[in-house]
A = this chain, B = another copy of it.
Amino acid sequence: MTIKDIAKLCGVSISTVSRVLNDRPDVSEENRRRIMAVIQSSNYIPNNSARDLVKTKADAIGLVVRGVSNPFYTDIIQAIESAITAAGYTMVMQQIGSSDDEVKCGAMMERDKRLQGLIFLGGRYDYTPGELAVLNVPFVCCSYTNSYGTLPEDAYSSVSIADQEEAFRAVEELYRLGHRRIAALVSRTDDRSVSQLRYQGYVRALEAHGLPLDPELVITTESFDIGPAYEAVARRLGEGASFTALFAIADHMAMGAMRALREAGLRVPEDCSVMAIDGLEVTEYIHPALTTLCQPMAELGRRSVELLLQRMQGEPHCRQTLPTVLRRGASVCSRN
């Protein structure tokens, strides 16, 4: 069943059918109705390969997810997928490890799948104009943004939270409650990722309140995963580190930390308060429920697609920063 068959069935030329298919105005109402009807009843679906061929682009948007098993991405991906589908595009997703280069992957996909645009979910914060030059289609960074001045403001689109400020806020909340020995659980302090940014928020909060930055209280792990976080905290506690509160840069890592604290005989929050950023649903059900700054996951996804579609229409770059919402659980208590 091709456009030709429909044309024949309707006694019109294929151009008229094509016009109807593409919602062009220059078709008589009668023909439009008739052709629509035939298309419906014959169950005809246009051949996208042919369409893409002449348009030289596919109606597809690529999604590159970096740092695969992060449960934080699940809801975002879902929101992105439905927004892309709703807009009449096809989502092509590719997942890569934290050590792979998302820009290279995106460039490959762009050419291979003939994409119209790209969304990067999780990625580096220090792209250079040179690196980005391999990308010939609009792209949007979701859940992170360029943060090290390696890119001019107007060369970049993103939807994210203000990582450093939110981390600052989290740590300040702990300070306000009387905590003075506040540990930080980060993946790295220097990887130019969300981890580093949130770590900087931690450092700035300590400074703002005249607290010393004690290396003993900075716990680093190899990844954002729960297992390594658990091990890192357990090790540091084994070394005798002592603190009354822990700020984890991600909910998942906080869960690992809570197990380590528990196994070390420390009660949360009586002996050690725990606070994090992300807002995974599951952390509301564990005991004690985690106090955390909730990211608006669905909104992050939705907005990213919206922004990308605008960029594809030729609109200028734009950086959106979304607010988090503090969800108070029982993992934090006051020392006042």
Task: For residue A261, give the distance in angstroms from its CB to the closest CB of chain B.
Answer: 10
Chain A: interface residue total (CB-CB under 8 A): 41
**A138 interfacial contact with B, CB 8 Å:** no
Tell me whether B90 and A47 are in contact (CB under 8 A). no
Chain copies in complex: 2
Candidates B47, B78, B92, B259; contact of A95 at CB < 8 Å: B78
**Which of A106-114, A168-176, A208-216 is near enough to bind chain B?**
A106-114
- For A93, list chain B residues within 8 Å (CB): 81, 91, 93
**Closest partner residue, chain B, to A58 (CB atom):** B49
- For A58, list chain B residues within 8 Å (CB): 48-49
| 7 closest Cβ pairs, A-B complex | A49-B52, A49-B53, A45-B111, A259-B285, A286-B286, A255-B285, A49-B49
Mark A residues whose CB is within 8 Å of B.
45, 47-50, 52-53, 58, 68-69, 71, 74-75, 78, 81-82, 85, 90-95, 111-114, 226-227, 230, 252, 255-256, 258-259, 262, 281-282, 285-287
Apart from A48-B114, A81-B95, A90-B92, what are 17 other A-B pairs with CB-CB below 8 Å? A47-B53, A68-B78, A69-B78, A71-B71, A71-B282, A81-B93, A82-B95, A90-B113, A91-B92, A91-B94, A92-B92, A227-B281, A230-B285, A259-B286, A259-B287, A262-B287, A286-B286
Contact sample, A vs B, 16 pairs, CB 8 Å cutoff: A48-B58, A49-B58, A53-B53, A69-B75, A71-B282, A78-B95, A81-B93, A81-B95, A91-B93, A252-B282, A255-B285, A259-B285, A262-B287, A282-B282, A286-B286, A287-B287
